[in-house]
Chain A
Amino acid sequence: MTDKISVSGAIAAALAGLLAALLIIPIWGILATVIGLQPNILPVAIACAAGLGHGVAYSVLTSLQIRKNLRALISTATGVTVFLALSRGMPFGLPLENAGLFWGGGGALISFIGVEFIVRSSLDGLAIGKFTRDDTELLFLRTLRLYGFAFFIVIVAAPFYYMIVSSFKKRAELLIDPLDLSLNFSQGFQSLFVGYWEVIVNFNFGRYILTSGFVSLTTVIVTLLLAVPGAYAVSRLRFPGRVLMSNSILLIYMFPAIVLVIPLYSVFSQLGLRDTLVGLLIVYPAATLPVTLYMLQGYFRSIPSELEEAGLIDGCSRVGIIWRITLPLSVPALASVSIYTFMIAWNEFLFAFMFLDNPEIFTLSRGIVSLNSSEVPRQFLMAGAVIVTLPVMIIFLWLERFMVAGLTAGSVKG
């Protein structure tokens, strides 16, 4: 840094420090809360003051042209000191020694190292000497980004973390401190997993897992058997009505499932198909076919038709061509479609809920609804929720590439 820092630069640094502390200190406080410490104040004002101090120290040291590492050391120390001094050695109203080193002094140190890191990276490359409009906006956008990331990570991760933790928490533990979201490993493996054990053994979830798996896989197979020829016809063969077909495929998706339920419920009841898996296996492929057709026909179209023409000239039949040429070339699309279909069938709730009354043939979604009663501990229901979520998540993380392609094609479906 060659320029001396200007007034606007100093204000920017101070502001960056303040905003960083305003983000980090509450996160620290909430983390302390959910591991079972019981803080009772969220020191917002103190955090702001300490962040401000940190930022001012940073800008003064910059204008004195102190080396980066020393600057970091001094400004972090300033932040920690101001914070601990203003909170009178009791961050969040907890005595330092009671709260433990990590959540006391150590926590403050980690927090202000975080502040230092944020201040440095948000001022990185900005002409701190003469702060221009671009610099101001960039600083603003960088701070917004920081808050944005924190916001999204919290809103997405918090419910899932809560789901997992609740599945390990006994009712008594919840009563003692509902805010304690730490896992108590000391009680032993068996006691920790009691919710899963109960649900799988006593509430028959082992069977539901198999049923859900069977229904989902069969849906995938039936959908593919129907969709591959259909999509091939729309994309490759010429016939009257082809344009109409390919335009109206997705229109089907605009009809809400709940209004299909009344007639299907009525007719299936009278045909004796309602409380059966066969009934579900008729509905599910129909629900996934439009997107599957749409996606596959798009993919088939992208395969050069010369390859197939060569096969035709060599005397291969159409069916032979699909089997030997088109399908092997379409493996990525088939994978996406299969995963998408599997996910829709696995997650499906409405039809399973409306159709199935017999506990012997419940799918997981339907089984979880039956756990939603005041007699069943919440822990069991959450264990069920984790069980139904886990396979989708594993498949998702494992095959994210295909999954994203399937989701974007299937996006029309909500």
Chain B
Amino acid sequence: MSLKKMTMRQKEVMLAYGMLIPPVTIVFLIVLFPVLADIWISFKDIQLADLRAPTPSVSERVSEDPQNGTVTVLYRLRNRSSRGAVEDIVLRDTVPAGLSARDVPQFCEIDEDAITCSYEIWPPRFREDISILFDATPEFFASGINPRDSETTTTGHSVNALLDFNFTLDNFRKVFSQREFWKSVRITVIYTVFGTIGAIALGLFAALLMNTSFRGRAVIRGLLLFPFVAPVIAVAFTWVFFLDPFSGVLNMLLVRYELVEAPINFLGTRVMPIELFGFVVQFPVALATVIAFEAWRYFPLSFLFILARLQALPSDIYEAADIDGASPIQKFRFVTMPQLVGILSILFMLRFIWTFNKFDDIFLMTGGNAGTRTLTVGVYDQAFALSNLGAGAAVSVVIFFMLAIFMVFYFIFMPKGEML
């Protein structure tokens, strides 16, 4: 159908698709495709090193013996990869004039001026030396030509580790059998729940404070958004130095005013016994610190939303409450709070998912040490610190699975008609 014969309606559909294809394609390639690829990789035995395809390598050595009229050429054949094989290798080199081979090694052919060796496969860590003894004419020695002057070329191909069809369950077996993994799940849940609650509670408090007009309100509102707007790298390092046990200001203040006996290594202490009403509680210091950072960095968001909501509340409900003789706290409890339930639950669910997904903050502050290794940090550790992409992808798949559960909850329990 030509463009002219199309109805206006059809043209509109074509135009819409044309406009949508670029953004949809890029989102598909960069977001949805990796999600599927993670599942694929999680069932494969892939190490970081496998990304660089194994290549055949050859080095050539020449020793000349003019007295006997011989030249020995040594080729060292290597497959440096420890995991991938190279197939169909062909080695080519030129033979200078005046040389004639005494014997031809296996797999090789020598004609007038060239040597060609062909191999079916070099397995991983393949190493072999072939040495060829040539009879050389006096002219060869006189000419000063070195057989190394001509370049040795090798070709060969290897299977792309990402694309073959070898699957394994080892990654999942490995991940699930580690005690560290289950600890990670627990840490993630604690981090997510308290980080979310902390950020929303601080945001609610800030919004209630700012829900009046006073001079300088705009300035303070801007200031309150700083933690969220600033680059994570800058604020994370600032916190790290701020909390430093040796020269950090916080520890110095605490020690100077004798609030603590010795500096606390906030980001390096897994647990610290704390006495509460005669009970000794093992308090997870580093985890609590990264949770505090999460709450500090993301409260501005909850603050913005709750404040917007508070300012949209009609004043007549407060007037009605006044007439009924409600006290200020009663007004907050029975008038304001019920109006905020919707926005609070949406914020909770979204922040919950996002805190669950958080990686940068913990990675920069503790690197996952001292009891702060959440699942997302686990992905990095497996895939890049331990160089096992397959295991990292397996942890990613666990994350997807948990996310899918959260999203089902989200869609079931999201208050209808409540929009951000």
Contact = CB atoms under 8 A, between A and B. Distances in A.
B376 interface: yes
B418 to A, nearest CB: 14
B281 interface: no
Contacts of B26: 226, 282, 285-286, 289
A256 B327 CA distance: 45
Interface string B155-183: 00000101000000000000000000000
Given A233-B20, A349-B232, A389-B230, A240 B13 contact: yes
Interface string A376-414: 001001100110110011001100100110011001111
A408 B228 CA distance: 12
B357 A388 contact: no
Interface stretch (A14-22, A80-88, A259-267): A259-267
B30 A389 contact: no
Interface string B217-253: 0101011111111111111011101100001110011
B164 to A, nearest CB: 14
A289 B27 CA distance: 7
A117 interface: no
Contacts of A221: none
Given A153-B220, A267-B37, A260 B31 contact: yes
Contact of B13 (A160, A227, A239, A266): A239
Contacts of B360: 349-350
B351 interface: yes
A289 B226 CA distance: 24
Contacts of B407: 251, 254
Nearest to B410: A254
Contacts of A242: 16
A260 B301 CA distance: 25
Interface residues of B, number: 95
B273 interface: no
Interface string B316-358: 0000000000011100000000000000000000110111111
A266 B37 CA distance: 10
Contact of B304 (A261, A369, A404): A404
B266 interface: no
Say what secondary structure dominates the interface of chain B: helix
B392 interface: yes
B353 A254 contact: yes
6 contacts: A149-B209, A163-B235, A237-B16, A265-B51, A382-B241, A408-B304
Pairs A-B, 4 closest by C-beta atoms: A256-B357, A414-B354, A286-B30, A263-B37
Interface of A: 30, 33-34, 39-42, 133-134, 137-138, 140-141, 145, 148-149, 152-153, 155-160, 162-163, 166, 174-175, 178-179, 181, 226-227, 229-230, 232-234, 237-240, 242, 245, 251-252, 254-267, 269-270, 282-283, 285-287, 289-290, 293, 318, 343, 346-347, 349-350, 354, 364-365, 368-369, 372, 378, 381-382, 385-386, 388-389, 392-393, 396-397, 400, 403-404, 407-408, 411-414
